[in-house]
Amino acid sequence: MRIVVISPESRDPREIPAVGGFLAAGLQRYHVRKPAWTEPELEAWMRGLPAEWRPRIVLHGHRALAERLGLGGWHDGDASPDAVFAPGAASRSCHDLPSLRRHLGAYPSILFGPVFPSLTKPGYGPAADFPWDSLRTVLREARRRRAAGDDGSASVFAIGGVTANRLARCRELGFDGAAVLGAVWNDSDPLRAFGRIRDAAARLEAARHAA
């Protein structure tokens, strides 16, 4: 399973050292989401990061800034217009099955959730009557299309309350990976927390290949 880490929303003195550790440990995509920051604030902060990190950073919103800095792309929120996709968009958020179905062919990856009760937004989680079997069907069809060589089917990452112990459920539902936020930044040692998640994902992949 592939893992994506999402940034804390506010300034955190642990963030930059931790991101260096995440990337050194194999993280392929770090999502920077700081909705309260102005674009000049965000640009100043981003320019303070090592330039070699930029291809693995995805910026939420701020398409022009992502292009100007040569980042790994930008992320569209679920409130974005349906036709917003353009080359360079790395991913999109989807929070319901109609949105997921609509955008599977338009983005390289989709963050779908919440799959579990959020660790950072109290009271936010999946609906009690969420159609999990329908989600499995959508994800199974997306995998089938990719296996058949259809490049127009996104990889789908679970988001919302994901922890190391919940990755097996993500795999069982059919997700290609998971995006984590609270499981990393709520820990006193974010790099240690990421290591647990990375190792759990690796064990699941090893078990899948051995089956």
Q: Mean pLDDT in the chain?
A: 92
DSSP the chain: -EEEEE--SS--TTHHHHHHHHHHTT--EEEE--TTS-HHHHHHHHHTS-GGGGGGEEEES-HHHHHHHT-S-EEE-TTS-TT---TTEEEEEE-SHHHHHHHTTTSSEEEE---S--SSSTT----TT--HHHHHHHHHHHHHHHHTT-TTS-EEEE-SS--GGGHHHHHHHT-SEEEESHHHHTSSSHHHHHHHHHHHHHHHHHHHHH-
In this predicted model, what pLDDT tens digit does every residue of 85-123 receive, in sequence order?
Answer: 566 789 999 999 999 998 888 889 999 999 999 999 989
In this predicted model, what pLDDT tens digit does every residue of 143-199 receive, in sequence order?
Answer: 898 888 776 678 999 999 999 999 999 999 999 999 999 999 999 999 999 999 999
Q: Show the domains of the chain with their CATH numbers.
A: 2-210 (3.20.20.70)
pTM of the model as a whole: 0.93
In this predicted model, what pLDDT tens digit does every residue of 6-37 receive, in sequence order?
Answer: 999 999 999 999 999 999 999 999 999 999 99
Per-residue model confidence (pLDDT) at position 154: 87
